[in-house]
Copies of this chain bind each other. A is one copy, B any other.
């Protein structure tokens, strides 16, 4: 099984992080095919940067999805999730979606930990859009940029543990999802110091993608995620145009 793992951030180090997390979670025999964003933000950290990243995701999909069995969006805003589901004939799983679902099987309410004071609202919106707002215990943002996970790993670890503690004690979280690709490796590393399960969305997404590949569900022929039946797009590059133009098999 080949799983395309897309990091729309334009930073290869983030891709390396999520690819490693994906490989650690994948079953034997599952190949991880990582891809890095070709344009946009170094590390997506705002609504506008995320809007652009959706295009970057679709461009990567158009180039790399052929031959793959599933797509994992290794970006914690699950950028372009439903657009990819509409375009592709394979399971598409977002790391935050999968992390929330996994969390909901071990915890009555899940806390979310991320970087940057402007981000909690976005995760509240995402959880609500999945219909899972009632399962969200709270969102806590570390007061540092995501990039610091690379430049100051020890400082970030301490902050992460403090954030977990706050989500558990103040918000009643019974599990904590790490909603930031650069935080992925910390879930396993810090688990023994946490009173609740720590969930790496990348690992959860790979496991969920493998599960969905096994279920072999077909595409819907009707409704909001069904194939469009071939659409002409202007000015978007040959591979992406071809993807949009494709007729349903």
A interface residues with partner B (beta carbon < 8 Å): 10, 25, 27, 38-42, 45-52, 54-55, 57-58, 80, 82-87, 91-93, 97, 101-102, 104-109, 117-122, 125, 128-135, 168, 172-175, 191, 195-197, 199, 203-204, 207-208, 210-212, 214-215, 217-226, 228, 231-236, 240, 244
The residue in chain B whose Cβ has the minimal distance to the Cβ of A174 is B223
Residue from the set A49, A122, A199, A211 with the largest chain B CB neighbour count within 10 Å: A211
Give the complex CA separation of A49 and B241 in angstroms: 11
Q: How many identical subunits does the complex contain? A: 6
- With A208-B211, A222-B196 already in contact, the answer to whether A58 and B54 are too (CB < 8 A) is no
Kindly list chain B residues whose C-beta atoms are within 8 Å of the C-beta of A168. 222-223
Asked whether, in the complex, the Cβ of B86 is within 8 Å of the Cβ of A97, the reply is no
Asked whether, in the complex, the Cβ of B174 is within 8 Å of the Cβ of A224, the reply is yes
Q: Can you identify 23 A-B contacts, CB atoms within 8 angstroms?
A: A41-B244, A45-B231, A46-B86, A47-B224, A48-B86, A48-B228, A51-B58, A51-B83, A52-B58, A52-B240, A54-B54, A82-B108, A85-B106, A104-B131, A105-B212, A106-B217, A118-B223, A128-B128, A131-B135, A174-B224, A196-B222, A197-B220, A210-B211
Asked whether, in the complex, the Cβ of A129 is within 8 Å of the Cβ of B125, the reply is yes
Kindly list chain B residues whose C-beta atoms are within 8 Å of the C-beta of A58. 48, 51-52
Asked whether, in the complex, the Cβ of A40 is within 8 Å of the Cβ of B235, the reply is yes
The 10 closest A-B pairs by CB, nearest first: A39-B235, A207-B211, A174-B223, A51-B83, A121-B224, A48-B83, A131-B134, A197-B217, A51-B54, A55-B55
Give the complex CA separation of A31 and B99 in angstroms: 26
